[in-house]
Chain A
Amino acid sequence: MTALLVALGAAVGAPLRLLAARYLDHRGRAGTLAVNLLGSALLGWLVGHGVDGRPMALLGTGFCGAFTTYSAVAVQSVNRGGWRGFGYAVGTVLGCLAAAWAGYRIGT
């Protein structure tokens, strides 16, 4: 049952990430950055507000997990190369950390 909820969340999250990448990534990978920031903020919120069990499997492990991506960031960063590429990767990680922390803390 839990695995089914993970699958359901992922079936929504992954295509949404593709949409964001396809329509926004020509602007300096803005789509991939946006999904990573949004997904990190949402997962931070879920963790900070004690969400677990089935809702966490659906929204956290499934949706946020598939909506966000680490591998694309690493590959995009190396392909861009140099300090700009490195800055994109470091900026994404720091930005997502701040987003997750904000979500974790908001309203608690």
Chain B
Amino acid sequence: MTAPPLRAALIAAAAGGVLGSLARFGLTEWFEVGTGFPWTGFAINVAGSALLAGLAGIAAVRRTPWLGVFLGTGVLGGFTTMSAASAETVVLLERDQDLTALLYAAGTLLAALVAVWLVDRWVGPAERAAAEDAGVDE
């Protein structure tokens, strides 16, 4: 299975990105961002990373090129965000909440990596490789 042609991929990424970003926006509106540990951003990035790894375990995603781009690059790429994680850490540092900043930056990364690693055990290497060829995390 190869990645979808560019035009289809761009449309799938845009449509998915809109949905994922709206979900992220909704969550940050619902759980108002306070001045402590940014739990909403932490949960979004860790859960989104685990879900992206899990997409490889879904046969339909491996079989349907645009679906992987829509759900992976689009929905989960738009849902998770490196820029907000970085900017929130900078704001914590500027407020002299150095320990919270360190816990947030390191904690999000470690939790996301462990979550992906655990999901990968369940998915299996062959499915993982097939999903990569289909452009899931493009």
Binding site for B on A (CB under 8 A): 2-3, 6-7, 9-15, 17-19, 21-22, 25, 36, 39-40, 42-44, 46-48, 57, 60-62, 64-79, 86, 89-90, 92-93, 96-97, 99-101, 104
26 contacts between A and B (CB under 8 A): A6-B25, A10-B20, A14-B78, A22-B6, A22-B135, A25-B138, A43-B84, A65-B21, A65-B78, A66-B17, A66-B81, A68-B82, A69-B76, A70-B82, A70-B112, A71-B45, A71-B80, A72-B72, A72-B137, A74-B52, A74-B112, A75-B137, A77-B116, A93-B85, A97-B86, A100-B89
Closest beta carbon of chain A to B120's beta carbon, Å: 6
A residues near B53, Cβ cutoff 8 Å = 74-75, 78
Closest beta carbon of chain A to B75's beta carbon, Å: 9
| Separation of A67 and B24 alpha carbons in the complex (Å) | 13
CB within 8 A of B73: which of A21, A36, A64, A97? A21
Q: 6 extra interchain contacts, Cβ-Cβ under 8 A, other than A22-B9, A93-B109, A96-B86?
A: A7-B22, A14-B74, A39-B83, A40-B87, A61-B28, A90-B109
Question: A69 and B87: CB pair below 8 A?
Answer: no
B residues near A93, Cβ cutoff 8 Å = 82, 85-86, 105, 109
Asked if B117 lies at the interface with its beta carbon under 8 angstroms from chain A, I say yes
Known A18-B10, A76-B137: A70·B48 in contact at CB below 8 Å:
yes
Please report whether the interface of chain B is mostly helix, strand, loop or mixed according to DSSP. helix
Known A7-B22, A18-B9, A74-B52: A47·B17 in contact at CB below 8 Å:
no
Known A25-B138, A78-B116: A71·B22 in contact at CB below 8 Å:
no
| Separation of A43 and B52 alpha carbons in the complex (Å) | 24
CB within 8 A of B109: which of A39, A72, A79, A89? A89
| Separation of A72 and B136 alpha carbons in the complex (Å) | 9
CB within 8 Å of A: which B32-78 residues? 45, 48-49, 51-53, 69, 72-74, 76-78
Question: B10 and A65: CB pair below 8 A?
Answer: no
CB within 8 A of A18: which of B13, B26, B91? B13
Question: A100 and B81: CB pair below 8 A?
Answer: no
